[in-house]
Amino acid sequence: MFEGQPKGLYALALANTGERFGYYTMLAVFVLFLNANFGLSAGWAGEIYSDFLMLVYFFPLVGGFMADKFGYGKMVTYGIIIMFLGYLLLSVPLGGDTPALIAMLAALVFIGFGTGLFKGNLQVMVGNLYDDPKLADKRDSAFSIFYMAINIGALFAPTAAVKIMEWGQTRLGVSVADSYHFAFAVACASLIVSIIIFYAFRHTFRHTEGGKTAKAAAAVQKEETLTPQETKARVVALCLVFAVVIFFWMAFHQNGLSLTWFADEFTAKSSEGLQAMAFDVWNLVLVIFIVYALFSLFQSKTSKGKAISAAVIVVSVGILIWKYTQLSGAVAVSAPIFQQFNPFYVVALTPVSLAIFGALARKGKEPSAPRKIAYGMLVAGVAFFVMMFASQGLLTPNAQKAMAEAGSYGPLVSPYWLISTYLILTFGELLLSPMGISFVSKVAPPKLKGTMMGGWFVATAIGNKLVGVGGYLWGDLPLWAVWSVFIAVCVVAAIFMFAMMKRLEKVAR
């Protein structure tokens, strides 16, 4: 998995980890902030949330155009600076009136545009590391590692958001609404760490930055030449993939909207016993240590390596057992904390995924990237089928809200339903997202790499705009009907993908 990867991969991955940690800390509480600070309805909160996500993933197209002309590294630097200004503005408590709302919207535009300059171009630079034929066979695993690094930042984000808000309320006496700004300030600090990493290790990836440095790179590597027909075929194939992933992100990013509302309104507010262990992020980290140590135990070529791996497993299991014995009573479960499970699963399951596909590759049976994307769509549909089952017998959101306002709750379900749903969604994500990014970096015509990576994010942007559909469905509709919409779009998109498979696999060879 890690063997033979260039050092530049880890530098770029860590720079991205810092930025993503801040982004997901903000995103974990953003919808709840809109309700608490501005009193917005579910529909309006969903509209702003989806519009923001759309900006975050639309602006990489602009960033790609600019990077193809001025260089990827330069755009990444500008992106971090602009994002920092946006998070800084969002960190200032301005109240809940109209000027404060306008200031918040301006901050979102800054964050969206800065992300557009940063995110896509950083991923193009990762892909450029593997243009060397000697490294070409490591491209897919590299993007899996890169994607895992993103989720290491996201794993700690919900806990960071909740803890910093609690600290503001208990230690400084700030209001619930104002405490959200402390979570937004975390993003500012994380960007400082990100830019330090980027420049401290720049020498390991400078040849991937484009612009003036592209001349030096050209002396080492000969650029691939395509005919107009080949270029057109690749662009068309990528656009077909983009059309499909729209619907995946529409469904997947319900984790910050309708699934968060489900956690807040329909899920038990406390947890006990073994289940309670899952809501401590450090317990999840120990599980990750165990997973990676197990792989190291079986793959290590030295007795010393095996001994270290075994020691890590024993110590981690021992700590988990000790922490379990220290549990006393129920622990409170807040809605944002559920968002830690998706990144946890990504980090924990990435080596499992790579091992499975590596074994299939050795047998000549590994599915192509387009086929993995299609499977990912089907798996996402299964996740929402679980939610449909979990919602049987529950009230509509409006009926549940009316009961809450009257001082009581309707039926609440076990946290295990959401934990299971995030597990299945993560399987779908691992099949689709890192493989899709790798596919774009491989198939995109050389002179259009930034633009095509931007196209991937535009498709994601459209999908994120459609996330707002969940807000408009959240009201008088039965919950099973809400989830059935997302099941339908995932299945239809998968069918379309399978219908286009021959064309897609042809350009992927």
Position 228 scores a pLDDT of: 84
Position 316 scores a pLDDT of: 95
pLDDT tens string 272-283: 988 999 999 999
pLDDT tens string 336-375: 889 889 989 989 988 888 888 888 888 888 888 889 999 9
pLDDT tier at 224, thresholds 50, 70, 90: low
**Rounded CA separation 71/121 (Å):** 9
Confirm or reject CATH 1.20.1250.20 for domain 9-199+227-269+333-508, answering yes or no: yes
pLDDT tier at 211, thresholds 50, 70, 90: low
**pLDDT at residue 215 tops 60:** no
> Would you state the torsion angle of the CA atoms of residues 251, 257, 260, 261, taken in this order, to the nearest 10 degrees?
-120
pLDDT tens string 47-84: 898 889 888 888 888 888 888 788 888 999 999 999 99
Position 217 scores a pLDDT of: 44
Contact status, residue 345 vs residue 170, Cβ threshold 8 Å: no
Q: How far is CA 148 from CA 14, 142, 278, 409, 438, in A?
A: 10, 10, 20, 38, 14
Facing residues of 331 across strands? 271
Facing residues of 270 across strands? 332
Position 444 scores a pLDDT of: 86
Long-range contacts of 355-361, Cβ-Cβ distance < 8 Å, separation of 24 or more: 355/1, 355/295, 357/140, 358/141
Phi, psi of 379 (to 5 degrees): -65, -40
Which range among 13-17, 166-170, 356-360, 451-455 shows the weakest confidence by mean pLDDT? Answer: 451-455
pLDDT tens string 171-195: 888 888 888 899 899 889 999 999 9
pLDDT tens string 83-99: 999 999 999 988 888 99
Query: Tell me, what amino acid is at 36?
Result: A
Position 216 scores a pLDDT of: 42
pLDDT tier at 220, thresholds 50, 70, 90: very low
Strands 270-271 and 331-332: antiparallel
Contact status, residue 309 vs residue 294, Cβ threshold 8 Å: yes
**pLDDT at residue 130 tops 90:** no
Tokens of 2: 């890690």
Which range among 156-160, 181-185, 198-202 shows the weakest confidence by mean pLDDT? Answer: 156-160
Q: Mean pLDDT, to the nearest integer, of 476-490? A: 95
Q: Mean pLDDT, to the nearest integer, of 285-314? A: 91
Task: Name the residue with higher pLDDT: 480 or 448.
Answer: 480
Position 385 scores a pLDDT of: 96
What are the domain boundaries of the chain? 9-199+227-269+333-508, 270-332
